[in-house]
Structure 1
Amino acid sequence: MTTKLFTALSMTALFLVACGPSEAEIQAKKDQAIADSLAVEAGKIVTYTIDPSASGVMWSGNMTGAKIYSHSGDMKVLKGEIITKGGILQNGEFVVDMTSINPTDDGYSADRPKENLMKHLASEEFFHVEKSPTASLTILGVEGNIAKAELTLRGKTDTETITEIEMATSDDGTVTATGKMTFDRQKYGVAFPGPAKDLVIANNIDLIVKLTGKAN
């Protein structure tokens, strides 16, 4: 009786083993689970709110007269957001405080102090910050590391291109996006009343943007 019972149990065990999933089937299920997880992450849309204290815009411009030199500085970001899909930048928008224009280069002297440049940049001839205290940039779409965007400056809006876009995510979930942009100031009415001064100031202004934020 004992022998028959042992034989029956052995046959049952063999039957269960034979009917269970094979190693290949188990591996296939694992692979599918990983693929499903990656697909979810790839389609995941995340909105990040910009942290103004960790973000900013660096600018530079050139004088092209008898003596060629440049000025550079930074500006503060007031607010904004960026949207990613699968960790890749899709679109976004941010606002810059034009009253915060701050030259940081050392190309100044007693005859040509830093304060003179700050007054000039804030004046009606240039950025007219009293009337237009902010500027904004809206990211319309991204392909690779290049984005199309709309810049609004002095109440005028035009299309620009952001290049060399890079994204980095920290362990705490903070994301940082950087990129470069060059725009023609003349398109936005940043010009002098007469042509003489415009001949010695380059039209192009270069920007380096850094935006840091956390997921909503």
Structure 2
Amino acid sequence: MKKFYVAAFAFAALATTACTGEGEKVEETAADAVETPVVEEVTYNLNAEATTLNWTGSWVKEGEIQRSHNGAIKVSEGSLTMKGEEFVSGSFKVDMTSISNSDVEDAEKNGNLVGHLSDSTFFNVPAFPATDVKVNSFSGDVMNITINAVGQEFTQDINVSKTDAEGTMTLESSFAVDFGDALPYTNPEDKTNGHVSSEVAFDLKLVLNK
């Protein structure tokens, strides 16, 4: 009889321990589920009014810059989608009809310069009124982009500084694009007296809002 009581007590203790263990397991699993946040995709849309894209073009001779002109172009639309700090997708459109010059004060000369930049020897704006920019990747401070300009594609990495504040993402970058043979005027047969460089420098400040 004594053996029966001992066996019954041992069984009850084992059953209680097993039930308690299962309860703890359920609690731990529930706690783990709560602690794992769900990261959702967020799309930031272009704030065109706050965004700036400035350009600088140069006249070079024997590899040295002799003089330069500068101005601006408008980024008309675009967005960037992120999942936390992970890049998802992005694209932008530059309105080439908005190209302007900032350093030539004489109105007639300014107009002539802008007209030259817009004609078929340079950006050929009538045929290509918009430049599409696709963001291929964005990791850390490096963004890989493909620029579709003057009927050709130019893919390269650019260094980007990113800041986030109250639903606004700001991306800033200074980079240069060598358009090569896509700009006929930059490749004259006689380069004795210098020529317009096919490399154009850009200073970009993209402002995007959720």
Work out which of the residue numbers 182, 202, 209 in structure 1 matches 2:197: 202
> Partner of 1:190 in structure 2?
183
Larger displacement relative to structure 2 (72-81 or 201-210): 201-210
Matched, 1:144 2:144: no
Partner of 2:115, secondary structure, is: helix
CA contact (8 A) 1:89 1:167 kept: no
The AA in structure 2 aligned to 1:127 is F
Within a 5 Å distance, the mapping from 1:3-42 to structure 2 comes to 36-37=36-37, 40=38
C-alpha RMSD of matched pairs (Å)? 3.0
Question: How far is the alpha carbon of 1:169 from its aligned partner?
Answer: 2.0
For residues 132 and 95 of structure 2, the distance between their equivalents in structure 1, rounded to whole angstroms, comes to 9
SS of alignment partner, residue 198 of structure 2: strand
SS at match of 1:140: strand
Do the aligned partners of residues 194 and 67 (structure 1) sit closer, same or farther apart at CA in structure 2, a change above 3 Å counting? closer
Q: Secondary structure at the match of 1:53?
A: coil
- Aligned mate of 1:119, from 115, 135, 149: 115
- Whether contact under 8 Å (1:80, 1:94) holds in the other structure is yes
Which consecutive unaligned segments of at least 5 residues does structure 2 have? 1-27
CA distance in 1, matches of 2:128, 2:35: 50
Secondary structure of residue in 1 paired with 2:120: coil
Aligned to 2:131, which of 135, 143, 148?
135
Report how far residue 73 of structure 1 moved: 1.1
- Confirm whether residue 54 of structure 1 aligns to residue 50 of structure 2: yes
| Shift in alpha-carbon separation, 1:130–1:111, aligned structure 2, 3 A | closer
In the alignment, the residues of structure 2 paired with residue 72 and residue 119 of structure 1 have an alpha-carbon distance, to the nearest angstrom, of: 14
Distance in structure 1 (CA, Å) of the matches to 2:177 and 2:65: 23
The 1:204/1:194 distance shift into structure 2, 3 A limit, reads: closer
1:90-149, CA deviations, whole angstroms, 9 ceiling, x for partnerless residues?
A: 5411000001111112xx365982222111101110001011000011110123211111
TM-score, with normalisation over the residues of structure 2? 0.73
Aligned-pair identity in percent equals 25
